Amino acid sequence: MVQTARDTALDVLLAIEERGAYSNLALTNALRKTRLSPRDVALTTELVYGTVGRMNTLDYYLTPALKTPLHKLEPWVRNLLRLTVYQLFYLERIPPFAAINEAVEIAKRRGRKASGFVNGVLRGTLRNKDAIKLPSKEKHWTRHTALLHSHPEWMVQIWADAFGRETAEQLCAANNDRPALTLRVNSNRATRDELLEELAEQGIGAHPSLVSPFGIILHEGLDVTRLPAFQEGRCTVQDESSMLVAQALDPQAGERVLDCCAAPGGKTTHLAELMGDDGEVVAVDVHEHKIELIENVAGRLGLQSISTRAGDIRRVIADAGTFDRILLDAPCSGLGVIKRKPDLKWRKVQGDITEIAELQRDLLNTVAQALRPGGVLVYSTCTVMPEENIDVVRAFLAEHPDFEPDLIAPFLMEAVHGAIQDDCAVQLMPQQFDSDGFFIARLRRKQVT
């Protein structure tokens, strides 16, 4: 049987729903097993991320045409309906009847008895498309916003409480944008201008990041692993916001640096690059199987100063010695990277935030003791929630008089200075620079007098 883009997308959606697979990993694995054209790879990617990202809205549109509740349908039928309704409502370039016919053909191949049902539901939904209305924004703002921008209602509400309704809606809208593909230049092997010139010679559209002096934004998606610059270790893939973490720590040549939650190694290798590969970066991660990821990227980038260790940093730290600088890129709710991992918003529940904030405080309290007097500690997350970010930092400083906030502005480009909090931290939101949502705080252990 020929595997089409829609067949592949349906398989990925089933992997996400039935096996709890992460959307980005399931899609990558599925595409590796197919021989789809670049055009069909792009369609598969659009269908997977679009369908997952718009899940609750698609279910809302489908419900009027169903006599059986959506959750009682066979998983493959439910997800086939969703990915087809996504095409009907969000992909204008695909003729509606072509999308429905493709769905019916898939239904015939997977369970002939269901093809008539699929055909009837989809044609009924298409007929009623203009009549389906969202709840009133004036009377039901949270429900309206949750369906318009496809987010859980609890998430919309906590963002409205934290940032106000206007910012919450901007955040939700930004989470549905496709993330840009960005490269970080390996400053040990190339300059950004050299790499931009090389990309231009290869006919690849790109421009420099306004957020990081090491960032390059590609204008279109492509297989980066085929670029000579990637294969030769002159660049790697990393989001712009993530690049700011190592810059904020500002490691120096010859220093001893600890990266507490290091996998897959993007920030670890950036630290080593900024040190000119001179010194020691101890990269620790609790997941033993991810240590290989760190070592692989360090090898490709030609970095020798990184040593790895598997284990819980709260136990590893006891015999790790002291460090000049420490990076704690803490586990978090991940609500700043929804545009990159849209399934995250359906996996999380509100209680996750309180639970993870307790772990973050515990980790920060533990690793801080390994910092030498006068040393610098950076605390970062990829979320936008104040409870996991500035609240953690303020509580830590209140409980540790031997630490003080350290000015972060000198280590960041002027474009992001407007996002600085308490002089020592920066909160980047996904709607500000089209980058991931990230929080970064810079603290210093006071010198002993």
Catalytic residues: 382
Q: Which of 330, 262, 246 is nearest to 296 (CA)?
A: 262
Listed as own residue / partner, the contacts of 194-199 with beta carbons closer than 8 Å and 24 or more positions apart are 195/229, 195/234, 195/235, 198/228, 198/229, 199/229
Question: How far is C-alpha 430 from the geometric centre of its chain's CA atoms?
Answer: 10
Q: Which of 153, 135, 156, 151 is nearest to 53 (CA)?
A: 151
Map residue 162 onto helix, strand or coil.
helix
Pull the structure tokens for residue 96. Answer: 């509606």
Rounded to the nearest 10 degrees, the angle between the axes of helix 96-110 and helix 75-90 is 170
Identify the DSSP state of 220: S
Map residue 330 onto helix, strand or coil.
coil
Spatial CB neighbours of 73, under 8 Å, sequence gap ≥ 6? 81
The rounded distance, in Å, linking the Cα atoms of 350 and 371 is 33
